[in-house]
Amino acid sequence: MLRQRNVFKYSVMILFMTGLFLMTASHSEGRPKKSLNLRPVLFSSLQGWQKDNHLAAYKTWQISCDKILSRAKYYRSSSRVRRGLLSNCYKTKKLGSNIKAAQAKQFFEENFQPFEVRSPQKRGLLTGYFEPELNGSLKKTARFYVPVYRKPANLLPLIGRRASQARRNGVRGVTWALKTKKGFVKFPTRKTVEQGYLKGKNLELVYLEDPVDCFYMHVQGSARIRLQGGGSMRIGFAGKNGYKFRSIGKRYLDKDWLRKNPLEAQQLFWRNPSFIFFRKVNNITKGDGPIGAQGVPLTGARSIAVDKSFHNLGTPIWVVGTNNASKNGRKMRRLMIAQDVGSAIKGRERADIFWGSGDRAGTIAARTYLRSQFVVLLPKVS
């Protein structure tokens, strides 16, 4: 219990400081809309490159390649970078999985060119996230009474024509809305939902035992549920009501206080109008991470969430994180693969590192708050 308490304490401290609200989004590989100021560098100039576990990075890259190869037609008709990613994925398929670390390192060096991201502003920020493990039940009981909801079928993201139609209906300030016979309308806020708006609509996916854990799960966007009576299930992001996340304030730092003061805690939770819907995630093994925005299982310590307005999902990125609180400026250097996004992940050198599942991953994620530098690995053009 003490370990869980510390996980929560440190995690919510980061959430309060950064306003972080990361979730696995609907699988979208929209083309980056913003350009990067890049300076070519040499692999030999990357401090720590020789010591990194390139095989771990290669295996994570392979997972991205599975998705890229499944969409080969789209990548062939897309940008030069994406065509290059596809080409390198074909090389990866030919090379296979049964390789050694030295071969993985050679693969990246021969097929990618490193470019240092040159930001006009201060360096970016690295934070961490993880997949919680919680107890739950498929049936409502005295112990398990907090519902986790599926997404209503007519709740849709406002993109393309939908966004224009919603604006004509006067719907503004949200990114998702309900489609009705009269057009798009805003979905209710968290407060209205938790006061019973969805009662009787048969949207309950699973029940949890603690409203505090449920709110926290909304922040992370996925979870492993240990079911009462045996078995388990994985759930992931399915949609949201479209309102911007709002921090509930310093009270969030004390989980015990929230549990001992449920009425006050509820009022704090209702300050955040955003509400998340979940779906059961199938076709992933026990050892897999949750599904990221690229549509692939995330790998602990190798998958990162990035701002896709700057970076293509599937791009290898050499990440340097500096601990500002450390007297000697201790650094983390690691080759990551961009496989996820988050609503608070904005900027050229802003990333969230997925650390895995469970309490230990949560502790590491909670303590990840580093100044970041990016070196993106772009496919070489022959």
Q: What are 14-66's pLDDT values in tens digits?
A: 443 344 444 444 445 566 767 788 999 999 999 999 999 999 999 999 999 99
Question: Are 352 and 129 in contact, with CB atoms under 8 Å apart?
Answer: yes
Cα angle 23, 25, 28; round to 5:
155
Tell me if domain 38-127+290-377 and domain 131-280 are identical in fold: no
For residues 306-327, average pLDDT: 87
Report the alpha-carbon distance of residue 368 to residue 241 in Å, rounded.
Answer: 29
pLDDT in tens, 150-193: 999 999 999 889 999 999 999 999 999 999 999 999 999 999 99
Report the alpha-carbon distance of residue 54 to residue 36 in Å, rounded.
Answer: 25
Q: Residue holding tokens 């994180």? A: 321
Query: Among residues 157, 298, 190, 145, which one has the least CA distance to residue 234?
Result: 298
pTM of the complete model: 0.81
pLDDT in tens, 271-293: 999 999 999 998 778 888 899 99
Domain residue ranges in the chain: 38-127+290-377, 131-280
Q: Is the pLDDT of residue 144 over 90?
A: yes
| H helix or E strand, kind and range, residue 38 | strand 38-40
Question: Are 345 and 305 in contact, with CB atoms under 8 Å apart?
Answer: yes
Report the alpha-carbon distance of residue 279 to residue 244 in Å, rounded.
Answer: 21
Query: Among residues 26, 321, 18, 294, which one has the least CA distance to residue 155?
Result: 26
pLDDT value for 323: 79
183: phi then psi, degrees, rounded to nearest 5: 115, -170
Q: Counting beta carbons within 10 angstroms of the beta carbon of residue 214, is it exposed (0 to 12), middle (13 to 18) or buried (19 or more)?
A: buried
pLDDT in tens, 202-251: 999 999 999 999 998 998 889 999 999 899 999 999 999 999 988 776 55
Give the mean pLDDT of the chain.
87
For residues 361-368, average pLDDT: 88
Report the relative pairing of strands 276-280 and 232-240 from DSSP bridges. Answer: antiparallel
Report the relative pairing of strands 155-157 and 183-185 from DSSP bridges. Answer: unpaired
Report the alpha-carbon distance of residue 157 to residue 153 in Å, rounded.
Answer: 11
pLDDT value for 345: 87
3-state secondary structure 123-172: CEEEEEEEECEEEEECCCCCCCCEEEECCCCCEEECCCHHHHHHHHCCCC
Return the percentage of the chain with pLDDT > 70, whole number.
88
Start-to-end CA distance of the chain, whole Å, equals: 56
Cα angle 283, 285, 291; round to 5:
65
Q: Which residues contact 281 (CB under 8 A, 6 or more apart)?
A: 222, 234, 235, 236, 290, 291
Structure tokens that stand for 237 in this block: 């992001």
DSSP state of 198: T
Decide if domain 131-280 falls under CATH 2.40.240.50.
yes
For residues 317-330, average pLDDT: 75
Please report, as a single letter, which amino acid is at residue 49. W
Report the alpha-carbon distance of residue 113 to residue 193 in Å, rounded.
Answer: 49
Superfamily of domain 38-127+290-377: RlpA-like domain (2.40.40.10)
